[in-house]
Amino acid sequence: MSQDKSFTLDGKTVPYQEGQTIIQAAMAAGHYIPHLCFNPEFKPHGSCKLCTVKANGRQTASCTQQAQPGMVVESDINELNDERRVLLQMLFVEGNHFCPSCEKSGNCQLQATAYELDMMSPHFDQFFPDRPVDASHAEYLLDFNRCILCSLCVRASRDVDGKNVFALSGRGIKSHLIVNAKSGHLADTDFSGSDKAAHVCPVGVILKKRVGFSVPIGQRTFDAQPISATPHPKVKGA
């Protein structure tokens, strides 16, 4: 009596397991749907909206939408890619993303996703927000200019490390990342380089100090191949 546990993604059949969301099943099968706040190691969050697809004609975030039998999912279509590009442009103008000075350049998911979607300009007027850099910690640097509020570090610290080093504060366009210290400084938290939270930032906020240019620009992860052809290391397939 087994019901067919599969749906189609841009015409290709994708099998899924009960409880999987569209993107979870798609990634496991080696398909790429653009995403930033989603990480297969964590519970879906649904905030960046890059993974928006059309499921049976209705737009929805594919990271939180449960897969259903026979669902017709459209993802790699102009209409959605145009919207995703605008979402990326929003993230770029909201913060200060000066790629040439960022050690994450070439390994950055925001940048690589923007390459993938042919984002040629920020389009909107830059907000040029005044955001701090926290260099207090001996080993790690926090550059809040690049934060896209995906909350992966918040989730990793809370759910994996059991520490709550990071949290979001503020509201709306004033939302921002904070650390768990009265001083507001990372050095005064129990953060450690061995934390999961130290290694989940998709952009260049949480960076290890003194490792600049160990791999030259031009030879980094997403210089070698597009993000769509670079599966997450924890995901089989592709």
Partner 1 sequence: MNAPAKPKLKVATTSLAGCFGCHMSFLDIDERILELMKLVEFDRSPITDIKHCGPCDIGIIEGGLCNAENVHVLREFRANCKILIAMGACAVNGGLPAQRNHLSLPLILEEVYHAQHGLVDGFIPNDPELPLPLDKVHPIHEVVKVDYFIPGCPPSGDAIWKVLTDLLAGREPELGHGLIHYD
Partner 2 sequence: MMTSQTNVHAEYLNPILARRQHNPNDLLQILREAQEQHGYIHTDAIDYLSLELKLPRAKIEGVAGFYSFLYLQPRGEYRVLFSDNITDRMLGNMELLENMCAQLWVEPGKVSEDGLLSIETTSCTGLCDQGPALLVNNIAINRLTPARVSSICELIRERVPLSAWPQEFFAIEDNIRRKDILLGSDFKSGAALSALFQRGADATLQEIKTSKLRGRGGAGFSTGMKWEFCRNAAGDAHYVVCNADEGEPGTFKDRVLLNGYADMVFEGMTLCARVVGAKQGFLYLRGEYRYLLDHLQAVLQRRRQQTLLGTSILGEAGFDFDIEIHLGAGAYVCGEESALIESLEGKRGTPRNRPPFPVTNGYLDRPTVVNNVETFASASLIALNGGAWYAGIGTETSSGTKILSVSGDCERPGLYEYPFGVTVAQVLAECGARDTQAVQVSGASGVCVSADEFERRIAFEDIPTAGAFMVFGQQRDMFEVARNFVHFFAHESCGFCTPCRVGTSLLSNMMDKLANGHGSPYDFAEIEKLNGLLQSTSHCGLGHAACNPVLDTIAKFRPAYEKRLAHKDFVPAFDLDAALSQARQMTGRDDTGAHLERSHESR
Binding site for partner 2 (CB under 8 A): 44, 46-50, 52, 59, 61, 64, 83, 86-87, 90-91, 93-94, 124-125, 127, 148-149, 164-175, 178-182
* Of 54 and 220, CB closest to partner 2: 54
Single residue of 30, 226, 236, 237 touching partner 1 by CB under 8 A:
226
* Of 65 and 96, CB closest to partner 1: 96
Query: Which residues, listed in sequence order, are joined to residue 138 by a DSSP beta bridge?
Result: none
* Of 168 and 235, CB closest to partner 2: 168
CB of 174 to partner 1, least distance (A): 16
CB of 107 to partner 1, least distance (A): 11
* Of 116 and 161, CB closest to partner 1: 116
What are the residues binding partner 1 (CB under 8 A)? 92, 96-102, 105-106, 111, 114-116, 118, 120-123, 125-126, 128-131, 217, 223, 225-226
